[in-house]
Amino acid sequence: MTTTDTSYAVAAYDLVKTYPKNVTALDGLSVTVDAGQIFGLLGPNGAGKTTAVKILTTLARPDSGTAVVAGHDVARHPRRVRTAIGAVAQRSSADPVATGRDNLALQGRLYGMGGTALRRRIDELLERFALVDAADRRVRTYSGGMQRRLEVALGLVHRPAVLFLDEPTTGLDPEARAAMWDEITQLAGDEGLTIVLTTHYLEEADRLADRLAIIDAGRVMATGTPAELKGELYGDAVHIDLRTALDEAAATAARTALAAVPGVREVALDGSRLSARADDGAAVVPGALAALEGAGVAVAAVTAARPSLDDVYLRYAGRRFADADADLVTAGGES
């Protein structure tokens, strides 16, 4: 593909971005997004998701690689890209001492809107996001969920073709998060928007994304629909929590014992948790427990379930999602 290709709403090819002290945020990242799709960038904090969005929304330039958004090259025609997109960042961009209505009016004027058309658009958005009663209150009096709804409304004032949502539900309580999920789904369906969202919530990606890219250390590890990615892991996931972490010799013995159980395959040890695949997870549990007991490995708990995105991440990245999240936060990586 070339940078003039317009067959995708969003296309990024081989993006590389490094920060001082040789911190690599993106390491050859490539993604393509069809028009009208909700596309998820799923990865732990520090995986490079926010850096990718900054490049796609013209807020940063890659060291190398190319990207096209809404038919425009982000490096050559940044103004055209900005006109065609809406962007909702992790941190609020609304003026807290202005009212919700005034914030929407200012956003519209920044895009050359005014008069009756802008007033109608503001009223439409206030109604859509259940902010009519709070429209003339200062934003600093809004709840967290109300502020996030206002942020999305601000990104939609000028009717963009592509909407970027960077961690749209971080910090929200479960009820507000569920409400935001419903709103995002409706936006894609009702207005035909292309939505690119970043998230480190596995459930959010599974629930919202038509397609997603799993990102780790600035690289795309896998792409597909949530169902396709989970379907690659045929059978059930068996997870066995051990009472203690194992030394190298005990770990080898545990993996060997579990792998010898009929019907068990793809054995992996991550910290104090053994994971494996099985055609019938429940059926292999008794044999797995007996094998580990015979190897002198103490088990704390065992579960068998259909594959999850966490299992997909483990397969491609070699570690649990939560562990990667903790590691990258500790390292201070870019999200």
Show me where the domains of the chain are located: 10-229, 234-306
DSSP string covering 106-139: HHHHHTT--HHHHHHHHHHHHHHTT-TTTTTSBG
pLDDT (average), residues 197-214: 93
Give 35-71 pLDDT, tens digit per residue.
999 999 998 888 899 999 999 999 999 999 999 999 9
Q: Residue range 286-298: average pLDDT? A: 95
The closest alpha carbon to 303, from 260, 330, 265, 273, belongs to 273
For 22-64, the three-class secondary structure string (H helix, E strand, C coil) is CEEEEEEEEEEECCCCEEEEECCCCCCHHHHHHHHCCCCCCCE
- Read off the pLDDT of residues 131-143 as tens digits, 9 standing for 90 and up: 999 999 999 999 9
Look at residue 174 and tell me whether its pLDDT is greater than 50.
yes
Hunting for tokens 């940063």 — which residue is that?
A: 60
- Average pLDDT, whole number, for the chain? 90
Is the sign of the CA dihedral 181, 175, 147, 334 positive or negative? negative
Query: What top-level class would CATH report for the domain 234-306?
Result: alpha beta
pLDDT the model gives residue 274: 93
Q: What is the percentage of the chain residues whose pLDDT exceeds 90?
A: 73
Tokens of 155: 């990104």
Q: The pTM is what?
A: 0.81
pLDDT at 187: 87
Q: Which of 39-48, 83-92, 210-219, 318-327 has the lowest mean pLDDT?
A: 318-327
**Pair 8, 56: CB distance under 8 Å:** no
pLDDT at residue number 335? 57
**Residue 2: predicted pLDDT:** 44
10-229: CATH homologous superfamily?
A: P-loop containing nucleotide triphosphate hydrolases (3.40.50.300)
335 compared with 22, residue with greater pLDDT: 22
Q: Quickly tell me which residue has 């395959």 as its tokens.
A: 265
Q: Is 110 exposed, middle or buried (0-12, 13-18, 19+ CB in 10 A)?
A: exposed
CA distance 239 to 231: 18
pLDDT of residue 79: 96
Look at strands 23-33 and 10-19 and give their pairing. antiparallel
Confidence of residue 325 (pLDDT cuts 50, 70, 90): low
pLDDT tens-place string over residues 64-112: 999 999 999 999 999 999 999 999 998 888 999 999 999 999 999 999 9
Residue 171 pLDDT exceeds 80: yes
